[in-house]
Amino acid sequence: MNIDFTANGLIDKNGIWYSKKNVAISYPDNGNDVSYQIENKSFWFKHRNNCIVSLLKQYPPKGAFYDVGGGNGYVTMGMQNNGIESVVIEPGEGGCKNAQKRGIKNIICSTIEEAGFEKNSMAGIGVFDVVEHLEDDVAFLKSLNSYLQKDGLLCVTVPAYKLLWSIYDTYGGHFHRYTLGSLESKLKTAGFGVLFSSYIFTPLPLPMFLMRAIPSKLGLLKESSIIEDETNTHAKENHTFDKIWDWELKRVNALKSIPFGGTCLVLAKKI
C-alpha cells in the first residue's frame, strides 16, 4: 500500500517523498552504495533481517512501521515482503534511490525530524545500526519516543562491546558501541520499557577482536583497506555458521535471549 505524505509537507518526486531541508549525517558519503553492493548476498544482513522480522511478527505494530535511517531499504524490504506495512525514512538520496530499485513502496528522503510527522502519531519505529551514529544517543531516543503513540514499538540494533572498537567504527561514523545493559538503561531513560533483548551473531566478537580491534590499536589497519575488506567479507555467500544462525533465529522466535554476540537486538515500547 502506498501512503500519501502530502499532509506532512513532503514533495513527491518520481515516487520518493522529499523534505525541504537537507541535514548533515554522520555516515560515509559512499556508505549506502557500498552496502547496496553486498546486502543481498551477505549472511550478516540476511540474518539480522530474519531476527528483526521474527520479532515484529510476534509484536505486530498497530499501523505503519517506519525504518528510520533505513539506508537502501534492505530491512524495509524484509518487512514489506512479510506483510508488514513499512516506510523507509533515509536522508541520503542515494540510499532512497537504491530502495526504490528494490521495489520499496513508501520512501521518504529526510531525517525523521524534518519529515513533518506529528508527535504521538507513529505505531512503530525501527533504527537498525543507526543509534551509534548519534553522539547524543539518549536525546535521539527521546526524540523517537516523542513520535510514537502510547505503547508504540521501537526496534533497535546496535554494535556490541566497546572492547571491539576499531578503525571500522571510526570510518563508519560511529560514536558508540553497547552492551545490552547500557542500551536498555538508555532506552529506559528515554521513556521506553524493554519487551525483549538479546545479542545475535554469537561467533563474531572473537574474530572481530583479533582481526579488527587489536590491529587498529596497533595502527596496522588503514581506512583505504576497509571498503575492499567489507566487500570481501559480506559479498560472498558464507554458509560456515548457518547452523548457528538457525539456532539464534529459533531462540528469537521463542523470545529467549542469547547471552553473547556482536550485535544487540532490542524491542521496546513507549511507556
pTM above 0.85, yes or no: yes
Asked if residue 4 has pLDDT above 80, the reply is yes
3-state secondary structure 233-259: HHCCCCCCCHHHHHHHHHHHHCCCCCC
Q: Where are the beta strands (DSSP E) in 1-45?
A: 11-13, 16-18
- Residue 179 carries which DSSP code? -
Mean per-residue pLDDT of the chain: 93
For the domain spanning 6-270, the CATH number is 3.40.50.150
pLDDT of residue 27: 58
The dihedral region occupied by 213, where left means phi > 0, alpha psi between -120 and 50, and beta the remainder, is alpha
Those residues whose C-beta lies under 8 Å from the C-beta of residue 86, and which sit 6 or more positions away, are: 64, 65, 66, 67, 76, 79, 80, 104, 106
Taking only the tens place, the pLDDT of each residue in 72-108 is 999 999 999 999 999 999 999 999 999 999 999 999 9
Confidence of residue 21 (pLDDT cuts 50, 70, 90): confident
Look up residue 113 and give its DSSP letter: T
pLDDT greater than 80 at residue 19: yes
Cβ atoms of 150 and 42 closer than 8 Å:
no
Residue 245 clears pLDDT 80, i.e. is over it: yes
> End-to-end CA distance of the chain, in Å?
29
pLDDT score of 214: 97
